[in-house]
Structures are given as structure tokens and as C-alpha cells.
Amino acid sequence: MIFDTHAHYDDKQFDSDRDALLNSMEALGVGTIVNVGASLEGCRKAIELAAEYPFIYAAVGVHPDDVGDLNEDTFAKLKTWCQEDKVVAVGEIGLDYYWDTQSHDMQKKWFIRQLELARELELPVNIHSRDASEDTFQIMKEHGNGLEGIIHCFSGSKELAVEYVKLGFHIGVGGVVTFKNGKKLKQVVEAVPLEKIVLETDCPYLAPEPYRGKRNHSGYIKYVAEEIARIKQVTYEEVVAQTEINARKLYMKTAAEELINNGKGGNSIEIVK
């Protein structure tokens, strides 16, 4: 089933119908969702959602726009949250030079601290990078050794994507790949092996065609998988099965092995382990 590696169901855009929407996910072919924290409050809500819904897991981290809220006390709280049940990653963390709400030095400081936290707790990371490709990659080379994770909402070149794959990271692909002006991401999908791609929505943002501009949700991820299948010249079922294995290998290693050993995700195709 579809594994959405990056969602924000704590967002206020879901306040009116959150429970009904989430309870429809199985019927929409969605089996697992990771709700990703961005602010301290978002992290708390992500943990609450994971506790309420069996198919939701949480990632805990502070987005570069919100690192001004971090100090030694709040960072200690973040570390405690990272050790909660069903927290499977540190994220989303990184650099954002587009909005520039925090100084670059402040962003780098807390990005590195959160990478170190992930290493200490042996958790994968979920990386945000916007208009900061060079600095993000440099920090990942210097401080990301031995870590695994996802480069979320990847917007760089295919050459940079290949370099991240060499470092051991997966590329997060969402709705942008379906856009007519998403040529660069389509090239990335073509260049990166399917076993290094994961599906994501970033909902409620970045809805794919034909829902571009609308509120996004995990049920729309099928359009992303269909476009990846077209680019890679494989079946839709292969994309869904392989990306589910990829995500579970990152976030839930034991569950991934069970999925591989018990029928390859329910599809009669070859899954790359």
C-alpha cells in the first residue's frame, strides 16, 4: 500500500474533517503515513496523532523557519520527544534561504545540532532545503556521515540527487513531479534508482495535478506514483510496492523485512532489498 513519508495533518487546514479524512485512507490505498513536525507545537501534535491512529507515525524536529524557538531547554524537550513510541525520524530539519526568517548562522547551528541528535538516538533524518542547496549539501557531507534519511521535496539538480544517493540518502518525490513545469524533478526521477525514491505529499501543500492549488492529502499520492511509473517505464504497482519497502527500510527496519519476506508487499514483482 501507499506509504506517505511526509505529511502535516496537524495543520489547521484539516481541522474541519481530519478524523473523517484519516479514516478514509485505507479505502484510498494508503497504508502508512509519517506526520512530520516542523515547529515545537507541530511536534507535539504529530506525537498525539501517532498515538491516536495506528497507521500514523511521527517525525520530530524543528524547521529552519522556527529554530528561533530552540534553546537548551527546548532542545532537551525535543530529545525527549524523539524517544517517544512511534517517533521514527528527526525532521523536518535543514536550511531555508527563501523565507529567511532566521539568520543563516542560526539555521546552520540548529541543523547541525539536530543531525547530531539523530546520530545519538540512531534515527533517520528528514531534510528540508530551499534555496540553500550548496550549504545543505556541505553540512550533510560534514555532519551527516553514517546517517540515513530523506531529502524532502527535492528541488535540486539530477546531479545533486545522485550525490545524495551516494551519501546513502533517499529522494522524496511529491506533487511537483506531475506539474508541467516540473521538468527538473522528472529528470531527477529518471536519474535516481527506484529503490532510492520515496513518496510524499507535504500535505496540505503541493497537491499534484489534477488537484494543483487545492488542499493536498495522502489519497492524491497515487498521481505521483503514476507519473514516476511513466518516467521509469514500470508499473504503478511496482512503484507503490518498492517505495513502501524503501520507506519501511528507513523508518521501520523490522517491518520492512517482514514485508519483503511475506509476499514482497503483496505484489508479484521483484523488490530490491
Computed over its alpha carbons, how large is the radius of gyration of the chain?
Answer: 17
Is 270 inside a domain boundary? no
pLDDT of residue 270: 43
Is 273 inside a domain boundary? no
Is 120 inside a domain boundary? yes
Identify the CATH number of the domain in which residue 106 sits: 3.20.20.140
Is 243 inside a domain boundary? yes
Is 271 inside a domain boundary? no
CA distances from 208 to 92, 108, 221 (A): 21, 31, 8
Is 55 inside a domain boundary? yes
pLDDT of residue 233: 98
Task: For residue range 148-197, list pLDDT tens digits in order.
Answer: 999 999 999 999 999 999 999 999 999 999 999 999 999 999 999 999 99
Q: Are 83 and 121 in contact (CB under 8 A)?
A: yes
Grid cell 547530531 in the structure block, residue:
116
Q: Which domain holds residue 56?
A: 2-264
User: Cα 257 to chain center, whole Å?
Assistant: 20
Residue ranges, the chain, pLDDT below 70 = 253-273
Query: CB within 8 A of 92, min separation 6: which ones?
Result: 6, 36, 37, 38, 59, 61, 63, 126, 127, 128, 152
pLDDT of residue 260: 53
Is 256 inside a domain boundary? yes
Q: How many domains does the chain have?
A: 1
Is 168 inside a domain boundary? yes
Closest alpha carbon to 192 in 213, 166, 216:
166
Alpha helix positions (H), the chain: 18-23, 40-52, 72-82, 104-121, 133-143, 158-166, 183-191, 221-232, 236-251, 253-261
pLDDT of residue 271: 42
